[in-house]
Structure 1
């Protein structure tokens, strides 16, 4: 596909692929090989790898779109710049019940240290979430866990953080749960994540803050976005052209 027409985004805004969508591919071995070669990509891992056992034509079309996006962005790279700030900032998001077959949600986070993107993730949640707040809170817990590990690493490198880590979430209920000391009946099944995040908030390591969806950069790891929004968020992650 070296001569293919590039795509502006890796997936379209309606990319909800079920396991039995369309006819089987003519060459399933070639699909598996191609999907395996893209398994290092965060978004690819949660969308295409789960379709390996019985690939269908829509899966192959979506995979080819991803390759077309890569073809058009081969000269893009992650820019790291010198910064006097040592603040950890995390953006977390979840696409609630995004998988049409299992109804499991996709979690994503982006961790910035001093304005530089240093860690990111996109993966299916291991269990089905009963509400969007639950899915978002699991994403918050994943982001807090990663940021806590980075905080500990910085301390071991004799560069401890002087301020609390900021965790941005666009779900008001999830933000409220991070500080609410009451264990409600409807949240008992996420009790471990609740206690983990609340403990970090209580000791002052973390602050969970609401962010509008227009500034939720982690959206890029959980769902298909319109071209203009995708380009804006990609730029906010310090992904720039000029690395060929």
Structure 2
């Protein structure tokens, strides 16, 4: 059970003081009846709140995916740079507060990014012990040799003592490829290709665990909510 005023704040109807004012004016309905006092206890998992003719139901966790555009940093807030959450809330102003990106993509990297308030899921998706795959489309300044591919798949030294974990590289010639890793070291993909003498010109994440980027349904800069009650990285 949850206090009514707390639930209304969770539903993004207003601040604690704002929802108290709405309750006092009789503008909030609980299961079809005019709401009572702010301290009224309700079952957040089954109650239906109505405000301004719109029904609002509580979800413990929310999950969204964004095809991150270039030029924004992966952070919840920043004093100087535009963040991915600035982009998110500009398009989804009614989304729950407290959402955050899972992991990070560089400022100049595009692609699939999960946004949620499910802290356990975020931990599992990022934990090295879970071995959650991340796949990237890469554009390079030169062609890969068979030796380059073999080195990347075996693990390369990027200046952190131990070599990177084995990767999977899909390369069919030219200056583009796909690489799948399950670690998340700083600038890892760029540093891995630098280790074999190549510079990454464009980088886009195309898959993260069970999530796969479909650019027809999710163009750059767009956001989709995942319509599910729960989510697993297994």
Which is higher, the Rg of structure 1 or of structure 2?
2
Higher fraction of strand = 2
TM-score with structure 2 setting the length: 0.25
